[in-house]
Structure 1
């Protein structure tokens, strides 16, 4: 089995990233306009007047440089947890969120990772093998700028959802993660199911803003993702199985705004579903509605059937009402024939040359349609 972070974008004949001429050091973080942030990140102080304070009120706890053990113990023992109204520091163990939990961040609540990426499962907030979890108004600052020399690889998401069901994350602000901002999937051939991520802002994730690798019934809605750079694939949203046992069914993206990400606003890579046997064929359905990309290298990217095996993913990818602007190219794709159908409709491209190029190329691609409205 491959790690969730061994991605085929790097393996397209070794040419993918060479063709893009990507070097992380060439990337310059761009300030996101406040007017854009406030459209997606909603400031609110939830009504918690009737919820008991569970945390120590003494200065020793408040001034601690590592709150992990105390916070974990309180999470384990309670169903509704309102975090302290100040920044708490969490070490490399992260916080494990079990089933039937609601975690509420107050106006000044925040989690600062003071740990480091030390292998798989080194995520900051861990929703593993859990059901019925809700996280409200999360503020999570990752460890991408940790000075620890032993920090390597691509791990440490702000929030990681593995093999979990009925998960809702609303209005999260996640920044500076060493891995993904949010990861949704599995590490062992399972899948996550009924996951909703709604509203929020993910900024300066090192790997992807959001990765979806193995899941059913996922909704990503009203999210701003910006300045993703540092380690491939470097996309705002990357939908990509890690290996052949993963599934991608009913994945819905609505009103996603990707801003100045190193490689692509949204990428779909299904190469791990390329198979020798017809019995191993996977069916995928993905709908992307109202996507706007501004300033990423590519507005949209697909990498499909690069191995040219007898069988590859089937199903449908729909891209409806997208606007791609200030890109080096609007749509980057691998040239291989593929079984999955792709439908574009309502596509607006700011650059006239790119628009003409997109329309002429798409019309000649196998199993790709440009639908006039």
Structure 2
């Protein structure tokens, strides 16, 4: 190997072989060691150190000790300080920190800022470099025939600088460029490490042309149990194929770093993804605003080319990372290629992440037991169905959706739903479902929030979905769309949810949205005997447009022959336009609506009582004369209140003889004309009306 002499000095002459007296030699050796081991700063102040600037490899050696003539008059280079003395002088921890050059600088700066971004590092030389080790390059080390295990070698290749030592006991480690170098003669040189590695050590190139798959994978393999730092590229982006992350690894990307997948990731099984966390645990990825992406234009078919695939893994945290322009999903959480002994992902956190312009989904959740998605954005998905911001969709009955939490997330501009849950595969044998969306917003999607296709009977999954303080704005169709979920399947609860200016593009009264903000309905392709098991509490339909497009706040509508049952409304209201609060299909049963204060429905003339008046207090205040209100066919739990405000007879006529159960027997009608009188009727399962409460005499004027 070619050794490097002291910069700026003449080549030293050969040392005289004349031996000095032992006392004189001992004294001279001590002086030499003292001179060249002098440290210009205290070892305890390691945070003051800076790496030599990458653009000036010689600046690090400006603090050269002066040379003095030997006994024969020749000038000699400083003696090499052996590895043993180097360790003794600095301690193993200090040497590791110095050789890796990663720690916090002053004022709490990041671990890498002091290395690459601080000009003050030029003021500090490596105090022992000129007298302790050989300057060399990676290529020269690989040609070294007879390395000395007591010598430290300083590699000067830009971006790969560091201290290496020969390990005579290792004859098996593979050359990975970054932490292990192997010479042609089989010598293994090991980099002095702390807990942080740099991807640049392994020869990564960010020129947008070089394929870095092998270099990145070598870096990820070497970083197991440590932290891998990925600096911002000098060119447009890093280019790479599929990469795997090992357990117990932390990845920290520099802000502005871009890693792009090659255009040839496999779109047929076995599928390839850009970054894979497959059956691993304890992984942290800190993106710092960096981006993983693909050339989406190259992926015009298929749907499985994801940016990040987390499968069968646990204890994973991904923060502030952008996953954009994929041929599939930005993020995928599931069980792809998971082997026996591994199951659903557990305890996964996505925080402050962005998924933009992906082909299939911003995020797909196939199987998870413990998932927190917080402060994330899922935008502009378009390319292949379902084109959602987020899709929760198990692929089998054993795949759980448990302990799932979305908090303060946004889905905007997606060609499909903002937040979609598709429950085609789970059954009654599936794990209990537990999913909550809280303070989440959708804006400008096809639908806002969609839950669909929960089966019935043995195929009815159990559990609960909760949407709390969620907002759906400007959906092309309904803001909240609950479709094809059987009434014996999991409960869906909507609490303080708001739909604002939805139904932007749908045809009026379309069979998909019924011009309503909140819809419970069924799909003709997935028939159900009965749909329902929904509760809506303090929900609000708002239409503030000059030409309102929402006709109904809350719709319960069939699509074929199914029934609708077990739906409960509490204090659900509308604002703006001329919306009806409810659009209730005549097949609905066991539907309740309670409002405080109770809404009023005026009846100025004889008319049929509509299911759409559900929960209202019907008054004859504007009636100029007697009126007759024809009751609908009674359904279980459906209730109405009638109030005589005007001094005119109000008669309540049953749809069939004897359907009114009164204290004086079954009646076909009842009536009252005394102002202030009220009566509340509730439907029963046997299709009769029962009296819940009554004020005034409604029974004298009654008939069979």
What CA deviation, in whole Å up to 9, does each residue of 1:39-96 have, x standing for no partner? xxxxxx95435875534479984445211101110110122001122121112xx110
Structure 1 residue aligned with 2:49: none
Q: Does 1:95 align with 2:243?
A: yes
How many Å separate the matches in 2 of 1:290 and 1:170? Answer: 19
1:332 to 481, 484, 500: 481
Q: Does 1:216 align with 2:377?
A: no
CA positional deviation for 1:114: 1.4
Q: Does 1:288 align with 2:437?
A: yes
2:298 to 146, 149, 160: 146
How many Å separate the matches in 2 of 1:238 and 1:246? Answer: 14
Structure 2 residue aligned with 1:357: 552
What CA deviation, in whole Å up to 9, does each residue of 1:202-261 have, x standing for no partner? 100100110111110100010111101111111111111011221111100001111111
Structure 2 residue aligned with 1:104: 252
Higher Cα Rg: structure 1 or 2?
A: 2
2:464 to 316, 326, 338: 316
Runs of 4+ in 1 over 6 A off after TM superposition: 57-60
How many Å separate the matches in 1 of 2:459 and 2:314? Answer: 30
SS at match of 1:359: strand
Structure 1 residue aligned with 2:498: 348
Structure 2 residue aligned with 1:198: 351
How many Å separate the matches in 2 of 1:192 and 1:227? Answer: 26
Residues 1-373 of structure 1 aligned to structure 2 (within 5 Å): 46-48=110-112, 49=114, 54-56=198-200, 61-63=205-207, 65-78=210-223, 79-86=226-233, 87-91=237-241, 94-118=242-266, 119=268, 120-137=270-287, 138-146=290-298, 152-187=301-336, 188=338, 190-274=343-427, 280-306=429-455, 308-328=456-476, 329-338=478-487, 339-351=489-501, 354=517, 355=541, 357-361=552-556, 366=565, 369-372=568-571
How many Å separate the matches in 1 of 2:343 and 2:204? Answer: 42
How many Å separate the matches in 2 of 1:327 and 1:170? Answer: 29
Contact kept, 8 Å, 1:117 with 1:152, in 2: the verdict is no
What CA deviation, in whole Å up to 9, does each residue of 1:244-292 have, x standing for no partner? 2211111000011111111101011112013xxx5x2431010000111
SS at match of 2:306: coil
Contact kept, 8 Å, 2:389 with 2:419, in 1: the verdict is yes
- 5+ residue gaps, structure 1, are 1-44
SS at match of 1:216: strand
Contact kept, 8 Å, 2:285 with 2:317, in 1: the verdict is yes
CA positional deviation for 1:144: 2.0
Structure 1 residues 99 and 359, CA, compared in 2 at 3 Å: closer, same or farther? Answer: same
Give the TM-score normalised by structure 1.
Answer: 0.78
What CA deviation, in whole Å up to 9, does each residue of 1:172-198 have, x standing for no partner? 111100011100111358210000000
Contact kept, 8 Å, 2:398 with 2:430, in 1: the verdict is no
How many Å separate the matches in 2 of 1:161 and 1:59? Answer: 27
How many Å separate the matches in 1 of 2:403 and 2:566? Answer: 20
What CA deviation, in whole Å up to 9, does each residue of 1:302-332 have, x standing for no partner? 11235x4533110010000111111122122
How many Å separate the matches in 2 of 1:225 and 1:160? Answer: 16
Structure 2 residue aligned with 1:3: none
Structure 1 residues 197 and 59, CA, compared in 2 at 3 Å: closer, same or farther? Answer: closer
How many Å separate the matches in 1 of 2:570 and 2:316? Answer: 34
Structure 1 residues 55 and 166, CA, compared in 2 at 3 Å: closer, same or farther? Answer: closer
How many Å separate the matches in 2 of 1:170 and 1:322? Answer: 23
How many Å separate the matches in 2 of 1:284 and 1:67? Answer: 41
RMSD: 2.6
Structure 1 residues 69 and 291, CA, compared in 2 at 3 Å: closer, same or farther? Answer: same
SS at match of 1:271: coil
- 5+ residue gaps, structure 2, are 1-108, 116-194, 503-515, 518-540, 542-550, 558-562, 573-704
How many Å separate the matches in 2 of 1:351 and 1:171? Answer: 31
How many Å separate the matches in 2 of 1:173 and 1:134? Answer: 15
SS at match of 1:74: helix
How many Å separate the matches in 2 of 1:54 and 1:336? Answer: 51
Structure 2 residue aligned with 1:22: none
Structure 1 residues 59 and 154, CA, compared in 2 at 3 Å: closer, same or farther? Answer: closer
Contact kept, 8 Å, 2:261 with 2:295, in 1: the verdict is yes
SS at match of 2:296: coil
SS at match of 1:273: coil
Give the TM-score normalised by structure 2.
Answer: 0.43
How many Å separate the matches in 2 of 1:193 and 1:174? Answer: 21
Structure 1 residues 367 and 268, CA, compared in 2 at 3 Å: closer, same or farther? Answer: farther
How many aligned positions are there? 318
SS at match of 1:65: strand
Structure 1 residues 76 and 281, CA, compared in 2 at 3 Å: closer, same or farther? Answer: closer
Higher RCO structure, 1 or 2 (CA under 8 Å, sep 6+): 1
SS at match of 1:296: coil
Q: Which moved more, 1:152-161 or 1:327-336?
A: 327-336
What CA deviation, in whole Å up to 9, does each residue of 1:117-158 have, x standing for no partner? 4134411010000000011114111232227xxx73211111
Contact kept, 8 Å, 1:292 with 1:322, in 2: the verdict is yes
Contact kept, 8 Å, 1:281 with 1:311, in 2: the verdict is no
What CA deviation, in whole Å up to 9, does each residue of 1:340-360 have, x standing for no partner? 001001111112853363534
Structure 1 residue aligned with 2:676: none
